[in-house]
Amino acid sequence: MYLRDFITLTSSSFLTYRMRSFLTGLGIAIGIAAVILLTSIGEGLHQFVLNEFSQFGTHIISIQPGKAQTQGGSIGVLGSVRQITLADADALRRLPYVEQVNPSVMGNAELKYGGRTRRATVFGEGRNFAAAFTMQVQSGSFWPDADDEQARAVVVLGDKVRRELFGAQHPLGEYLRVGGQRFRVIGVMQPKGQVLGLDLDDAVFIPAARAMELFNRSGLMEIQVSYRADVAADPVIRLVKDRLIERHGSEDFTLISQEQALDVLGSVLDVITFAVAALGGISLLVGAVGILTIMTMAVTERTAEIGLLRALGARERQVLLLFLGEAMMLSALGGVLGLLAGMGIAQGLHLLFPALPVHTPWMFVLLAELTAVGIGLLAGVAPALHAARLDPVEALHAE
């Protein structure tokens, strides 16, 4: 059988029963569209969350006061034998593999300048904050002091705070009141935007020691340790833990590795993406039943045609391939329709709701189309085998 004849015979059923073929392909199209839509949203959410968590780098270990208990999270300062301090942070700087150590305190305070007043988040950070978290200073600098314990009254502004309090005025060297205390502006951060719902542009940054005085704290909220990218997290965690146990006498703190947290988070999000894809797969199963039904009907209706083909010399294998090709073509066209619909709906939702993360990897598109063709192949096997095994003489006498 020539290829041209094969294509003509395969597509003849589509042309003869257009509406029936369209409705059958629509079942596959709905299934593929559901898979693409759900996985696009799931993958978009996956990338959004991972990007939010990894904006500050993935080679960071956070140290918090209080030992994490089996029954829950960290019990915090109230359950800590000793609070973590600036001296602890300084001791960690001398460990192998450690690049940056940042002591951290956070609070909220009123800002005043030139008759303008607003409240903003106040980050008390160490001198290595910008380097540890890959943040850039737009103008001026972070505090250059070699010792974080020098509680100098200097402040670095977030971009939004700079615009709202200073407008077009150059802020460097000006004095700003933070929580009633007078601070000299030494820098402005580059715009960073929101990270996990926290607007880093609507914030100011002061030395950690000064923030402890401002918020009347005797200890730090957290220490972040940035380590070399070519080193695994486990040996660094072991070194940090040993050093702090040596200083505290017991493990009264909690270590959280950013790399490990991202691995766990990525696994959870992968499961979610797989789950939503499985939900769309139910629609594909319905589409497969539709193809099985329509191909079974096609064999019954075309029994005489099959008998004529066999009488003219067509072999069983050729008849088998003819009906399998018809099933695969039907599902492939439905798959293309579903891909277009799924990606169109996903992008339309993103335009209507810009906050909704949507991402459709081309690998998903390819796998979805191959799945559609595979479903058509599997659904068409039984009817195609039945057609190929028909007795030519009996088939010719069929009405």
Name residue, tokens 């991972």: 50
Q: What's the DSSP call for residue 74?
A: B
Helix orientation angle between 316-352 and 303-311, rounded to the nearest 10 degrees: 130
Confidence of residue 54 (pLDDT cuts 50, 70, 90): low
The reported pLDDT for the residue numbered 110 is 92
The answer on pLDDT for 206 being more than 80 is yes
- DSSP E strand boundaries for the chain: 60-65, 98-113, 116-125, 137-140, 154-157, 175-178, 181-189, 194-195, 198-199, 203-207, 222-227, 253-257
Q: Which residues contact 71 (CB under 8 A, 6 or more apart)?
A: none
Say if CB 345 and CB 42 are below 8 A apart. Answer: no
Higher per-residue pLDDT: 328 or 117: 117
User: 146 φ, ψ to 5°?
Assistant: -75, -15
Q: What is the mean pLDDT of the chain?
A: 78
Say if CB 256 and CB 61 are below 8 A apart. Answer: yes
Q: Which amino acid is at 199?
A: D
- Rounded to an integer, what distance in angstroms lies between the CA atom of residue 272 and that of residue 131? 34
The reported pLDDT for the residue numbered 398 is 55
Q: Extract the tokens encoding 254.
A: 């909690």
Taking residues 232-249, report their average pLDDT: 89
The region that residue 134 occupies, defined by phi over 0 for left and psi between -120 and 50 for alpha, beta otherwise, is left
pLDDT digits (tens, 9 = 90+) for 367-391: 878 877 887 777 777 766 766 676 6
Complete DSSP assignment for 268-332? HHHHHHHHHHHHHHHHHHHHHHHHHHHHHHHHHHTHHHHHHHHHTT--HHHHHHHHHHHHHHHHH
The reported pLDDT for the residue numbered 305 is 67
The answer on pLDDT for 73 being more than 50 is no
Alpha carbon separation from 201 to 38, 116, 159, 191 (Å, rounded): 33, 18, 5, 6
pLDDT digits (tens, 9 = 90+) for 102-143: 899 999 999 999 888 989 999 998 887 877 777 788 888 887
Residue % of the chain over a pLDDT of 70: 76
Taking residues 268-276, report their average pLDDT: 73
- Rounded to an integer, what distance in angstroms lies between the CA atom of residue 288 and that of residue 293? 9
pLDDT digits (tens, 9 = 90+) for 330-359: 788 888 888 888 888 888 888 888 877 788
**pTM for this prediction:** 0.60
